[in-house]
Amino acid sequence: MTSEIIEQKVKEEKMSFSVTGMTCATCAKTVEKALSKIEGVKFAAVNLATSTGFIVAEKKIPLEVVQKTVEEVGYGISIESPQTLEEMRYKEAKKNLLLSWIGTIPLAILMLINMLAFKIPGFEFLELFVGGFVIFYAGKSTIKGAWIALTHKHTNMDTLIFFGAVASWTTTLLSLLGFPIASFGAIGAMIVAFHITGRFIESHLRDKAAKEIKTLLKLQAKEARVLTDKGELTMPIEAIKKGFIVLVKPGERIPVDGEIIEGVSGIDESMITGESIPVQKTIDDEVTGGSLNLTSPLKIKVTKVGEDSFLSQMIKLIQQAQGTKVPIQALADRITMWFVPTIITLAFLSSVVWYLNFERLSPFIESASKIFPWIMTGNDPLSFAVFVFVATIVIACPCALGLATPMALVTGTGLAAKRGLIIRNAEAIQTSKEVKFVLTDKTGTITKGNPRVVEHNLSNEEYGIISGIEKNSDHPLAKAIYSLMESETKPNHVEEIPGQGIKASVGDDEYFIGKPENPELYAKHFELGRTVVEVKKNQTPLGYIVIEDPIRMDSKSAIKELKNMKITPVMITGDNEKTAWAVAKTVGIEEVYSQVKPSDKLDIVRKYQSKGSKVVMVGDGMNDAAALKGADVGIAIGSGTDLAIDSADIIITKGGIYKIVDVISISKLTFKVIKQNLFWAFFYNTVAIPMAMAGLLHPVIAEIAMAVSSITVVLNSLRIGKIKFRRGETALDA
């Protein structure tokens, strides 16, 4: 199974990009369907809330192919940076907002005077020209969105606004041409002005919801102080290469990922990890770009640059997560696809019914107007039929429905990032709330993953050879072994056997370092929760190395909290039985699988899944990769191997397994908000549309109600990001 995952990793190509011109959920769905038809694309997702597209392909897809595909369905891909694109969009939206109200406010005042006080000569000409300016110029983006949809044989939210506003404006034109129709030109302008205002507010609130990414972007340094033969040089971050030595003074942000080669200082990593207590770092410790150097100057050797840096990867993963979808969104998408043509049909039919039965239904209108003063009264069936058509079109705009899920998802992933969690797969948000079993590795997960050698019986020469072999492994135990003693040994034919150990040749001798053949010989160490690595030379026991891995501070409280949530914690480890049980008893775990091979871990995951339960697997090593991929939710410790991280749905960037409690709590809270959003969006339309069809809603009231419903959904979603955690507290408790 592990080899299959490695093969999959090589084949998969991921791409994120900005999509321009989208205005509603139907637009996003149209682009998504087009992307999914590109040859080689396995998965495509387009998110309206972030205006991003995301694809997973079997091969590298040229950007030109993606761009052409998106343009063919009427939208575009921007080559500008997200920040620049957002600034341009904001300026354009602000200009259109000002223009729309400059025309609409005086027109609306004159309309009220014309209706309630006295007739203004030539008012219909003002409605025709000022209303036309607002609808066709200030509202040109809405007209463009509707035109794109109609020319590609689908409908969207702009289609409804287009029909409502243009139908209103057309009544003025027909009235001037002598037809017996009440003029609604000013209402057409008001529809567009309210629509543009709602869009502007939604955009502003969406920006607030995505502020976690913007905060991370601000952490990225633009320059670094590099030490060279010619002294200190300040270089742009793009010019920094691996191996450069960077000087960071107290109070400065660390500009790169690297390793300290000189100095000791307190590092504030709160903006990245969410932990407020500074961490003491010294020589050989790793530091992350974006964290803050507090007390002393540091010299740092650069280890990662550009897209490989932790911060860049973190931003990319958050954007990918916010571009994907949770399963419940499929329901909203399907409804939205059929919603617009259905509403246009209902609006047309209701207006026809009123036109043909106006005299019979007019007593109802006269009675209702005493309760709802905005209802249009009169004796002209055509005017009232148009009134009903416009009101039904406007009230039904599915903004709230389209925003209900993506807005909650954006804020949920933002909150997770603040807590030191990267949710790579948005489906994990929906699945995590249903988890009944948490299966966790021991080393590097329940324990710190920073083990140290406490005893061995090898000579210095023998230990040097073993150290040289272990340098070829990424396993935490291997690091503990070679960190104790430097070695120049260059082994041959190195082979790492997952879950067993490592073997290699040095000269004519073959060495194996791994699990003891007879664990009973080391019982006293196992009872203390230590790990024993046995060394063999040419298949003959040579000695042993005793390693101790301290338990993470939060492991015990995490296990207790999981039990309180009615979730069963299970330890799965390749370590021996006595060591496994010693650690398990310390933290409170009652189900333990020891001496487990990598393939067996996946079998254990399947065993719990066969009970009909959702299973979380937590791990950090290559031997956990198959189980992480096979579990309903795979969670990787961020300090683990690349393969484990690539196989996981969620990554813990800093901290221990208490973050699992946060994952489940954020999942429950986010899904709760999604359900609230969808309920109110459906409830709003269920109540409002029949009222509009019955002639009980004025188009202006309908437009205001539509905008308010959309903003309510966004504000409800923003509640997720405002949750404040205390130590040991979950999102649901806060």
Looking up residue 638, the CATH number of its domain turns out to be: 3.40.50.1000
List the catalytic residues. 441
Residue 320 has pLDDT above 80, yes or no: no
One-letter identity of residue 452: R
Instruction: Supply the pLDDT for residue 277.
Output: 54
Residue 710 has pLDDT above 90, yes or no: no
Instruction: Supply the pLDDT for residue 125.
Output: 92
| Mean of pLDDT values over 112-140 | 87
Instruction: Supply the pLDDT for residue 93.
Output: 81
DSSP character string of 53-101: EEEEESSPPPHHHHHHHHHHTT-EEE-S-HHHHHHHHHHHHHHHHHHHH
Encode 710-728: b = buried (16+ Cβ within 10 Å), e = exposed. Answer: bbbbbebbbebbebebeee
CA distance 674 to 49: 14
Instruction: Supply the pLDDT for residue 421.
Output: 81
Judgement on whether residues 302 and 436 belong to the same structural domain of the protein: no
Judgement on whether residues 607 and 492 belong to the same structural domain of the protein: no
Instruction: Supply the pLDDT for residue 39.
Output: 87
Residue 144 has pLDDT above 60, yes or no: yes
Q: What is the CA radius of gyration of the chain?
A: 32
Cα-Cα-Cα-Cα dihedral sign, residues 248, 251, 253, 258: positive
Token pair in block for residue 477: 């135990």
CA distance 186 to 168: 8
Q: Tell me the pLDDT tens digit for each residue of 651-699.
A: 887 777 888 888 888 888 888 888 888 887 777 778 888 988 988 887 6
The residue that leads in pLDDT, 645 or 616, is: 616
Which SS3 state, helix, strand or coil, does residue 618 take?
A: strand
Residue 402 near residue 336, CB atoms below 8 Å: yes
Q: What is the CATH number of the domain that holds 472?
A: 3.40.1110.10
Residue 700 has pLDDT above 80, yes or no: no
Q: Kindly indicate the confidence band of residue 32, based on its pLDDT and cuts at 50, 70 and 90.
A: confident
In a domain, 168, yes or no: no
Instruction: Supply the pLDDT for residue 8.
Output: 41
Angle in degrees, 0-180, between the axes of helices 658-693 and 328-356, rounded to the nearest 10 = 10
Residue 123 has pLDDT above 60, yes or no: yes
One-letter identity of residue 65: V
Residue 346 has pLDDT above 60, yes or no: yes
Judgement on whether residues 512 and 575 belong to the same structural domain of the protein: no
Domain containing 47: what range?
14-83
Q: Which range, 59-63, 392-396, 562-566, 601-605, has the best average confidence (pLDDT)?
A: 562-566
Q: Kindly indicate the confidence band of residue 90, based on its pLDDT and cuts at 50, 70 and 90.
A: confident
Which SS3 state, helix, strand or coil, does residue 40 take?
A: coil
Question: How would you list the strands of the sheet with 531-537, edge to edge?
Answer: 452-456, 540-548, 531-537, 509-514, 501-506, 492-497
CB count in 10 Å sphere of residue 297:
13
CA distance 372 to 567: 53
Q: What are phi and psi of 456, to 5 degrees?
A: -160, 165
Of 326, 333, 327, nearest to 30 by C-alpha is 333
DSSP character string of 417-481: HHTTEEES-THHHHHHTTEEEEEE-IIIIIB-S--EEEEE---HHHHHHHHHHHTT---HHHHHH
CA distance 711 to 251: 40
> Who contacts 581 (Cβ-Cβ below 8 Å, separation ≥6)?
592, 594
Q: Show which of 83, 99, 129 is a domain's final residue.
A: 83
Residue 41 near residue 87, CB atoms below 8 Å: no
- CA 107: distance to chain centroid? 43
Of 616, 614, 564, 571, nearest to 590 by C-alpha is 571
Residue 222 near residue 236, CB atoms below 8 Å: yes
| Mean of pLDDT values over 458-471 | 89
Name the DSSP class of 15. E
Judgement on whether residues 521 and 461 belong to the same structural domain of the protein: yes
Instruction: Supply the pLDDT for residue 510.
Output: 92
Angle at 112 between CA 109 and CA 117, to 5 degrees: 120
CA distance 400 to 55: 26
Of 622, 627, 619, nearest to 602 by C-alpha is 627
Burial class, 278, CB count within 10 angstroms (exposed 0-12 / middle 13-18 / buried 19+): middle
Instruction: Supply the pLDDT for residue 621.
Output: 60
Judgement on whether residues 224 and 256 belong to the same structural domain of the protein: yes
Token pair in block for residue 450: 């920073």
In a domain, 321, yes or no: no
| Mean of pLDDT values over 49-59 | 75
In a domain, 97, yes or no: no
Residue 159 has pLDDT above 60, yes or no: yes
Instruction: Supply the pLDDT for residue 317.
Output: 53
What are the start-end ranges of the H helices in 247-357?
Answer: 270-273, 310-323, 328-356
CA distance 255 to 247: 10
Judgement on whether residues 229 and 301 belong to the same structural domain of the protein: yes
CA distance 50 to 678: 19
Of 621, 638, 635, nearest to 663 by C-alpha is 635
Name the DSSP class of 136. I
Of 47, 38, 19, 18, nearest to 426 by C-alpha is 47
Q: Kindly indicate the confidence band of residue 207, based on its pLDDT and cuts at 50, 70 and 90.
A: low
Instruction: Supply the pLDDT for residue 682.
Output: 77
In a domain, 332, yes or no: no
Instruction: Supply the pLDDT for residue 4.
Output: 40
Instruction: Supply the pLDDT for residue 137.
Output: 93
CA distance 192 to 134: 7
Q: What is the CATH number of the domain that holds 282?
A: 2.70.150.10
Q: Kindly indicate the confidence band of residue 356, based on its pLDDT and cuts at 50, 70 and 90.
A: very high
Of 432, 430, 424, 433, nearest to 45 by C-alpha is 424
CA distance 183 to 187: 9
CA distance 565 to 436: 9
In a domain, 204, yes or no: no
Q: Tell me the pLDDT tens digit for each residue of 229-267.
A: 767 878 777 778 788 899 998 888 888 889 999 998 888
In a domain, 684, yes or no: no
The mean pLDDT value of the chain amounts to 78
Judgement on whether residues 436 and 292 belong to the same structural domain of the protein: no
Token pair in block for residue 710: 């959309």
Instruction: Supply the pLDDT for residue 730.
Output: 42
Q: What is the CATH number of the domain that holds 44?
A: 3.30.70.100
Flag the least confident range among 453-467, 521-535, 682-696, 706-720: 706-720
Instruction: Supply the pLDDT for residue 551.
Output: 85
DSSP character string of 224-273: EEEEETTEEEEEEGGG--TT-EEEE-TTSBP-SEEEEEE--EEEE-HHHH
Judgement on whether residues 517 and 556 belong to the same structural domain of the protein: no
Judgement on whether residues 433 and 573 belong to the same structural domain of the protein: yes
Instruction: Supply the pLDDT for residue 536.
Output: 92
The set of long-range contacts for 67-73, using a CB threshold of 8 Å and a minimum separation of 24, is 69/34, 69/35, 69/37, 69/38, 70/19, 70/31, 70/34, 70/35, 72/34, 73/30, 73/31, 73/34, 73/152
What share of the chain in percent tops pLDDT 90?
A: 11
Judgement on whether residues 298 and 436 belong to the same structural domain of the protein: no
Judgement on whether residues 497 and 617 belong to the same structural domain of the protein: no
Token pair in block for residue 289: 């770009």
Instruction: Supply the pLDDT for residue 648.
Output: 74
CA distance 94 to 361: 44
The residue that leads in pLDDT, 408 or 465, is: 465
Q: Tell me the pLDDT tens digit for each residue of 513-562.
A: 988 888 888 888 887 778 889 999 998 989 999 988 888 888 899 999 99
Judgement on whether residues 525 and 566 belong to the same structural domain of the protein: no
Residue 629 near residue 5, CB atoms below 8 Å: yes
Residue 591 has pLDDT above 90, yes or no: yes
What share of the chain in percent tops pLDDT 70?
A: 80
Q: Show which of 49, 83, 117 is a domain's final residue.
A: 83
Q: Show which of 68, 83, 98 is a domain's final residue.
A: 83
Residue 417 near residue 411, CB atoms below 8 Å: no
Instruction: Supply the pLDDT for residue 158.
Output: 78
Residue 274 near residue 415, CB atoms below 8 Å: no
- The number of distinct structural domains making up the chain is 4
CA distance 592 to 600: 13
Q: Tell me the pLDDT tens digit for each residue of 270-303.
A: 555 444 456 778 898 888 887 888 888 999 999 8
The residue that leads in pLDDT, 643 or 53, is: 53
Angle in degrees, 0-180, between the axes of helices 185-209 and 140-151, rounded to the nearest 10 = 90
| Mean of pLDDT values over 303-321 | 63
Name the DSSP class of 551. B
Flag the least confident range among 213-217, 442-446, 451-455, 523-527: 213-217
Distance linking the first and last C-alpha atoms of the chain: 41
Instruction: Supply the pLDDT for residue 134.
Output: 93
In a domain, 704, yes or no: no
Instruction: Supply the pLDDT for residue 301.
Output: 92
One-letter identity of residue 84: T
Instruction: Supply the pLDDT for residue 349.
Output: 94
Instruction: Supply the pLDDT for residue 729.
Output: 41
Q: Tell me the pLDDT tens digit for each residue of 165-201.
A: 888 898 889 889 888 777 878 888 888 887 787 677 6
In a domain, 279, yes or no: yes
Of 562, 549, 583, 530, nearest to 657 by C-alpha is 562
